[in-house]
Amino acid sequence: MSESEVQISAEAQRIRAEYLRWFRRHALALAVPLASLAWGQFAIASLPAWPQPPAGLRSMLLALAAGSVVFGRALKKRAVDAGSGGDVFVAARRLSRDLAVAAVAPSVVGAVLVPMTRSALDLYLTLGFSLLGCATMFPRASDWARWIGVRHGSEGDA
């Protein structure tokens, strides 16, 4: 093994260790859609009826839920261009946190919307948006390696 291969291997191990440390602290966010589902089912079944929300509120909240997934996908695709300079691990942690929040945001919107509308459709729409967000946006170790590797590569070429 050459010295550069050993150096790359050490860097890959550091990226993996930092990612695992971040993941252990934020894996609980993946339970938010399930907690929201349980809350929504409880709200539909047992909370007293609320007055109907204003006409545009339901549409606005559903658009917010869908928009968080769209925004998160755009943020993840443009992540490499942002935040050059500084500690790359801090930038990767910050970006990962933002993506995790965008992924579970539809569940939080659903936890507010479902008790107001008593609609199972709203419950499953917001759950679907959130599961789609978690599946496509929750950061993976390969994302961290790509973000940090591209940043290191662009710094070395300059």
Residue 14 pLDDT grade (very low, low, confident, very high; cuts 50, 70, 90):
confident
Q: Nearest to residue 69, comparing CAs of 144, 139, 119, 131?
A: 131
Mean pLDDT for 19-42 is: 90
pTM above 0.85, yes or no: no
Which range of 24-28, 34-38, 84-88, 134-138 scores highest in mean pLDDT? It is: 34-38
The radius of gyration of the chain's CA atoms, rounded to the nearest angstrom, is 20
Question: Per-residue pLDDT tens for 41-82?
Answer: 998 889 887 888 888 999 999 999 999 999 988 888 776 554
Burial 39-55 (b: 16+ CB within 10 A, else e): bbeebbeeeeeeeeeee
139 neighbors 99 (Cβ within 8 angstroms): yes
Phi and psi based region of residue 54 (left: phi greater than 0; alpha: psi -120 to 50; beta: remaining): beta
Q: Is 58 exposed, middle or buried (0-12, 13-18, 19+ CB in 10 A)?
A: middle
Give the pLDDT score at 141: 84
Give the pLDDT score at 6: 58
Give the pLDDT score at 140: 85
